[in-house]
Structure 1
């Protein structure tokens, strides 16, 4: 059996410990593809996978990593052959099966996406699940009628993975982007303006005035990977017929709201699911990401890199909300 290195999470009592270990690749089954991983990425969900309170992984030991890109090492599915350049995001990768934080990964062929022309493996992982979620959010808002001439678009959590990519995508499409972040230092401001944000706001600037049930119309639409109490304020300031693409809950899973934005302005709350997105839609989104949704200078503007050995520190940073942009894991 072929041996490979992986970051393995093991539960020890009430804690989960991680270490780089040598594993043996299991026999390949019909309908499976074995991928030689070139790179992966760091996501908030990966941090939850190494936290026993995260409720993401049911069984340990486990190899996290909900993204990967590389080439086919072996295949028992006629759609893929050795050497094909591929990527995998979502489904059960890094959750129900061993994930991308390994030199080799064995996955169902139905999860595998051919790497689109125009994207390298590193660029695909600079996107990763976060970028895919951003792109899906933009497409859902477009399908709901959003266009660049309708006014500014708000992006919350803008220094995070989903937010930073969304700012860059929207700016590249010609939208006026307002970026909201709780990080107020000069570096964060410079990052967001470099990605194309016209305005950078603290979350406090989005709050509705005390006693108001709905705010003045401000945003043509919004990309919100934060959720939590701030979602009420975002919804209350969306213009007539606009929408909010909601994809995360780093700000909390609960929020208090009222019906006024929906019945007075026809605002739409658009749920974004990047995990079980059907394959035809998934392929369409990745083609857009290799085309008009690919930011100029994607790697320079958004991504930094880490290794398997350094990865636990990156997972801890994203769990604390300290990570900016995207981090690529090089194997």
Structure 2
């Protein structure tokens, strides 16, 4: 086995002190067990990664830890027939970057069952412009479609529209001819959201009703919610008959202040979206769509910017403060 060193971003904690992150030089022998070693070309920064960088106990199971819940690259070592050296691949979900070391490393070792052949129509950069955020957004759109919500049913609202999941959901829905309403607290990005395909932009306060009304006037045929909490409750109370609300985030809270009336009087469906444990069949279907009929990578390019490992820390703090937008791509190099 090679003894060459490579850079990785490692989270550690000494005693009861605050967790720290630092770039360290690792060797392949230090990587966790697995069947496939991947040379990482790109990873990305997601909210879960920001929490992992602070050793959040709901994300990181043990320290030391390498964050990064997705990556794209090529195989450099394989113990299984399914993958050969040089194969372009990607990894999203499972325990990658949470229970197991993740993509903020120039090399990763993972179980073969976690590895997805990267579609030839996607470069590694494009694959990570999507990343876990795009995979999640596509699952939301897929759920809305499979609930029978056609574009002519009315507006579809997307919360957190300047974030990774939200912005990609806007682009995907627009490509599929839905009328998209983007929700954001960052009006300075209005032009960007319109270019992605949003028909109109509204503020966070428009989907954050704190009244005790059990139902609100019907507004949406469907929704993609990345926020949770009272925002999700507001969307459910204001979704039209037989509508569908997909939920994939909790930055606004992990409780749902709601009665059952949206479900039993309007027949609204709340569809939970989980990316980490998505079965392989649906996982492959989503990547086929993102690399084919649903490919919006070119439209998303203005949202993407690259950072190196030594820039991750400042980007994490900006993300936790709600100051980031779009997609932040992480290259496992040191500037």
Would you say same fold, with TM above 0.5?
yes
Confirm or deny that 1:82 pairs with 2:85.
Answer: yes
Cα–Cα, structure 1 residues 241 and 176, in superposed 2: closer, same or farther, change >3 Å? Answer: same
- Counterpart-to-counterpart distance in 1, 2:13 and 2:192: 37
The answer to whether the 8 Å contact 2:154/2:179 transfers is yes
- Counterpart-to-counterpart distance in 2, 1:155 and 1:228: 15
User: Any idea what SS the aligned residue of 1:223 has?
Assistant: strand
- Counterpart-to-counterpart distance in 1, 2:64 and 2:30: 19
- Counterpart-to-counterpart distance in 1, 2:30 and 2:310: 27
Cα deviation 1:196-248 (Å, max 9, x = unaligned): 11111111112448442211111010001110111111001111111101011
Cα deviation 1:267-314 (Å, max 9, x = unaligned): 000000000000111000000011122216245232111111111111
TM-score, length-normalised on structure 2? Answer: 0.94
1:237 maps to 238
Cα deviation 1:36-93 (Å, max 9, x = unaligned): 0000000000011122445211211111100100000000011000000000001011
Cα deviation 1:130-174 (Å, max 9, x = unaligned): 100000111011111111111110000111111011001101111
- Counterpart-to-counterpart distance in 2, 1:301 and 1:34: 31
1:197 maps to 198
TM-score, length-normalised on structure 1? Answer: 0.96
User: Any idea what SS the aligned residue of 2:229 has?
Assistant: coil
- Counterpart-to-counterpart distance in 2, 1:296 and 1:49: 27
The answer to whether the 8 Å contact 2:97/2:103 transfers is yes
1:115 maps to 118
1:168 maps to 171
2:258 maps to 257
The answer to whether the 8 Å contact 1:306/1:329 transfers is yes
- Counterpart-to-counterpart distance in 1, 2:4 and 2:153: 56
2:10 maps to 8
- Counterpart-to-counterpart distance in 2, 1:199 and 1:98: 41
1:324 Cα deviation (Å)? Answer: 0.3
1:193 Cα deviation (Å)? Answer: 1.1
Cα–Cα, structure 1 residues 29 and 268, in superposed 2: closer, same or farther, change >3 Å? Answer: closer
1:266 maps to 267
- Counterpart-to-counterpart distance in 2, 1:330 and 1:211: 47
User: Any idea what SS the aligned residue of 1:327 has?
Assistant: strand
1:14 Cα deviation (Å)? Answer: 3.0
1:99 maps to 102
User: Any idea what SS the aligned residue of 2:11 has?
Assistant: strand
- Counterpart-to-counterpart distance in 1, 2:89 and 2:55: 31
Cα–Cα, structure 1 residues 104 and 29, in superposed 2: closer, same or farther, change >3 Å? Answer: closer
Unaligned runs of 5+ residues in structure 1 are: none
- Counterpart-to-counterpart distance in 1, 2:83 and 2:278: 21
Cα RMSD, aligned residues only: 1.6
Confirm or deny that 1:301 pairs with 2:288.
Answer: no
Provide runs of 4+ in structure 1 moved above 3 Å: 27-31, 207-211
Confirm or deny that 1:20 pairs with 2:23.
Answer: yes
